């Protein structure tokens, strides 16, 4: 007797083990997993048909998949309206399993006879509701064809256990869907950040190119009508320096498009040496409105900006200082090296009101007729990226001091 009981339990244990191993990695795997689960159940219980039906928001019970054991194939069609079978649907809400040995005469299933049981040759049903988060979500239907069948306690327990497995599978599918959406959202966010970075870079480089072209045009005028003291050789040298700045800007764009080509050794800049190297370009950019007074002191300080980025920072601050001067004046640049770089750029221009200072670093804000409003936001972004600070000391009629502090790196 014990041996017979064990032999009957073996197919159920084997099927439960197979179902427990069912996993899905993406929501798209759900239909294939459901097909496999219904086939396993049909073979374990030796019933003609096993289906998974899901409830819709409109009170419709829709067949997701149904496996026909004799034909060894699945179909995915079938609809039952909850309002048409109130007793059956009420029983699903309140029972662990509906075990109808004679489904056409059972009080909970006989209302299905005319429209569903007889057309499909079903005589016995073993239906287990599927719950998710305490809500009736679907039904696992075992349908027997032939003489009415008496369901055993082991078969009833098996159907209930499988319904719980089906619920877990749908939980996995929902989790996979949410994770996929999260990955997609994250990817979109990264792409948006990339596009914003492209936009920021393009505007910043366009701003700097405008400065380069303005300087080049000024040199062209100087070549056509040189001032006293200007020599052709000097003007030629200055033009080469302006064009070199433009070449570096173009190289920055090319690096952004193909970052693998970056020279790994060019990610930091000796600031005092870079300032001295940039001095001829600064003098040329400030002329004829302003003279340059540049001095460096202290020990060399390497900052975590690429050479072109440091040059952009200095050029933008100096050009802003130049533009603040109405007629003739001086732009004073002082750099003190040490544990940090302290860079001060002072002009004797018109100065700024408190209201102007409040908006100074907002993108596109400018007080210049032909300004882009991108120079100072670019400077602030560079300073903050390396953990530095930027202070503004200015007032109407007393000029402006821009004070940048950049930490030493390395």
pLDDT in tens, 287-316: 778 899 999 999 999 999 988 789 888 888
Would you tell me the crossing angle of helices 30-45 and 2-20 to the nearest 10 degrees?
A: 170
Domain made up of 264-410: CATH architecture: 2-Layer Sandwich (3.30)
Fold adopted by 2-183: Beta-Lactamase (3.30.450)
Tell me if the pTM is above 0.85.
no
Average pLDDT score over residue span 346-369: 77
Does residue 7 register a pLDDT over 50? Answer: no
Distance CA 61, CA 79 (A): 6
Q: Report pLDDT digits (tens) over 220-271.
A: 766 776 666 667 777 777 777 777 666 666 665 555 555 444 444 457 899 9
Which sequence spans correspond to the domains of the chain? 2-183, 264-410
Distance of CA 29 to the CA centre of its chain: 24
Does residue 208 register a pLDDT over 70? Answer: no
Bigger pLDDT: 63 vs 10 = 63
pLDDT for residue 345: 93
Edge-to-edge strands, sheet with 329-337: 290-298, 329-337, 340-347, 400-407, 389-394
Q: Report pLDDT digits (tens) over 127-178.
A: 999 998 888 889 999 999 999 999 999 899 888 888 888 888 888 878 878 8
Distance of CA 6 to the CA centre of its chain: 55
**The two structure tokens encoding residue 274:** 């870079």
The DSSP element (H or E) to which 135 belongs, if any, is: strand 135-145
pLDDT for residue 110: 94
Does residue 3 register a pLDDT over 60? Answer: no
pLDDT for residue 73: 92
User: How far lies 398's CA from each of 12, 42, 190, 393, 402, in Å?
Assistant: 91, 90, 45, 10, 13
């Amino acid at each position: 007797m014990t041996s017979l009981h064990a032999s009957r339990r073996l197919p159920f244990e084997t099927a439960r083990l197979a179902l427990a191993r069912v996993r899905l990695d993406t929501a798209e795997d759900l239909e294939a997993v459901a097909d496999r689960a219904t086939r396993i159940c049909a073979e374990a219980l030796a019933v003609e048909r096993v289906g998974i039906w899901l409830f819709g928001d409109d009170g419709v019970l829709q067949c997701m998949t149904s496996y026909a054991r004799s034909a060894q194939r699945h179909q995915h069609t079938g609809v039952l309206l909850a309002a048409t079978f109130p007793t059956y649907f009420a029983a699903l809400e309140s029972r662990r399993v509906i075990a109808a040995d004679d489904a056409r005469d059972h009080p909970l299933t006989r209302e299905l006879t005319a429209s569903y049981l007889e057309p499909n040759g079903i005589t016995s049903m073993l239906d287990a509701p599927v719950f998710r988060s305490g809500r009736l979500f679907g039904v696992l239907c075992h349908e027997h064809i032939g003489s009415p069948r008496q369901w055993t306690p082991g078969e009833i327990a098996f159907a209930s256990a499988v319904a719980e497995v089906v619920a877990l599978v749908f939980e996995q599918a929902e989790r996979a869907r949410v994770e996929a959406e999260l990955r997609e959202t994250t990817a979109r966010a990264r792409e948006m950040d990339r596009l914003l970075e492209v936009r920021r870079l393009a505007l910043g480089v366009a701003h700097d190119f405008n400065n380069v072209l303005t300087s080049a045009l000024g040199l062209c005028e100087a070549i056509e009508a040189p001032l006293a003291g200007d020599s052709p050789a000097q003007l030629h040298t200055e033009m080469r320096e302006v064009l070199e700045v433009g070449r570096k800007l173009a190289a920055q764009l090319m690096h952004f498009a193909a970052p693998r080509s970056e020279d790994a050794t060019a990610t930091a800049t000796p600031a005092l040496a870079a300032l001295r190297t940039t001095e001829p370009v600064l003098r040329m950019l400030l002329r004829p409105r302003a003279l340059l007074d540049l001095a460096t002191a202290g020990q060399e300080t390497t900052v975590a900006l690429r050479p072109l980025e440091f040059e952009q920072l200095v050029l933008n601050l100096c050009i802003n200082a130049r533009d603040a001067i109405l007629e003739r004046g001086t732009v004073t640049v002082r750099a003190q090296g040490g544990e940090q770089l302290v860079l001060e750029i002072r002009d004797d221009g018109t100065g700024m009101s408190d209201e102007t200072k409040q908006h100074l670093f907002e993108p596109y804000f400018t007080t210049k007729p032909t300004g882009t409003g991108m120079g100072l936001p670019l400077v602030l972004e560079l300073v903050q990226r390396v953990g530095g600070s930027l202070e503004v000391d200015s007032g109407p009629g007393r000029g402006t001091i821009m004070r940048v502090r950049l930490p030493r790196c390395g």
